[in-house]
Amino acid sequence: MKTIAWFSGGVSSFISIYLMNDQIDEIYFIDVKEQHPDTYRFKADCERVLGREFTTLKNATTHSAVEIIKKRRYINGPSGAPCTSELKRKVRQRWEQSQDDLLCYVWGYDSEEKHRAERLLQTTPEHEHVFPLIDAMLTKDEVHGLLERLGIKRPLMYELGFRNNNCVGCVKGGMGYWNMIRKHFPERFYEMATLEREVGATCIKGVYLDELDPERGRIEDEVMGECGILCEIAYSNVVG
């Protein structure tokens, strides 16, 4: 049995690894071009505290979400996001196909996400799974507090008020999220608005970004998960 952790660039992901560091055989990081550059600083800080390096994987053809969207001419919908499929799910699957060992995955679900952990156990029985944050009964706020005590600065996206350290301009965001992107990353906002018109598809159902009212949405009310291995593996088991 080989114990594997996938570092997403988020706080919960790292703390789950920190709690099980001595029991983890390998740690992987899937690189996507559109993530905030501060993610690499955060990754380096996490590696320093753990005393080990993470192995970086990426799509062999392109690691750009924008390029994937242009190629597929699809952004997001009932069948998921093509960037998630191409840049994360298929990268993980290719890695898994190269493995001969049984795998045990370390997950970053916190104590308020037990329902997600239970769903994962049901949908992915081919692997073993451990949930160190749930076992330690840690909430999301407590996880962030532990990171601070370790002397690691959070990724900048959290400091700006975003709830996850996803790509800058994640296609799964809602109105409140995209209006925050407009405020903090206007060039990225208008890049995606232009891309929507080019491919004839939208990030937000029924609303093009260039028509989005700047006052619409509250990011605090929007449910948006961390776009990492947690997100893509759950999606892949829903749609097959």
CA distance 127 to 110: 20
Summarised one tens digit per residue, pLDDT across range 160-215 is 999 889 899 999 999 999 999 999 999 999 999 999 999 999 999 999 999 999 99
Confidence band, pLDDT 50/70/90 cuts, at residue 66: very high
Closest CA to 175 of 198, 209, 200: 209
- High-pLDDT (> 70) share of the chain, %: 92
- By CB atoms closer than 10 A (0-12, 13-18, 19+), residue 7 is buried
Summarised one tens digit per residue, pLDDT across range 67-112 is 999 999 999 877 789 898 899 989 999 999 999 999 999 999 999 9
- By CB atoms closer than 10 A (0-12, 13-18, 19+), residue 214 is exposed
Structure tokens at 14: 């790292």
Give the neighbor-by-neighbor strand order of the sheet with 128-130. 55-57, 26-30, 2-7, 103-106, 128-130
| Span 49-57, average pLDDT | 97
Structure tokens at 160: 């700006």
CA distance 232 to 90: 9
Q: What is the DSSP string of 51-79?
A: TSPPEEE--SS---HHHHHHHHT---STT
Q: How many CB atoms lie within 10 A of CB 10?
A: 26
Lowest mean pLDDT among 7-16, 45-54, 171-180, 230-239: 230-239
CA distance 105 to 85: 19
Lowest mean pLDDT among 33-47, 107-121, 180-194: 107-121
> Residue holding tokens 């996206």?
157
pTM of the model: 0.90
Confidence band, pLDDT 50/70/90 cuts, at residue 222: confident
8 Å CB contact between 84 and 227 = yes
8 Å CB contact between 196 and 75 = yes
Burial 41-73 (b: 16+ CB within 10 A, else e): ebbebbbebbeeebeebbbeeebbbbbbbeeee
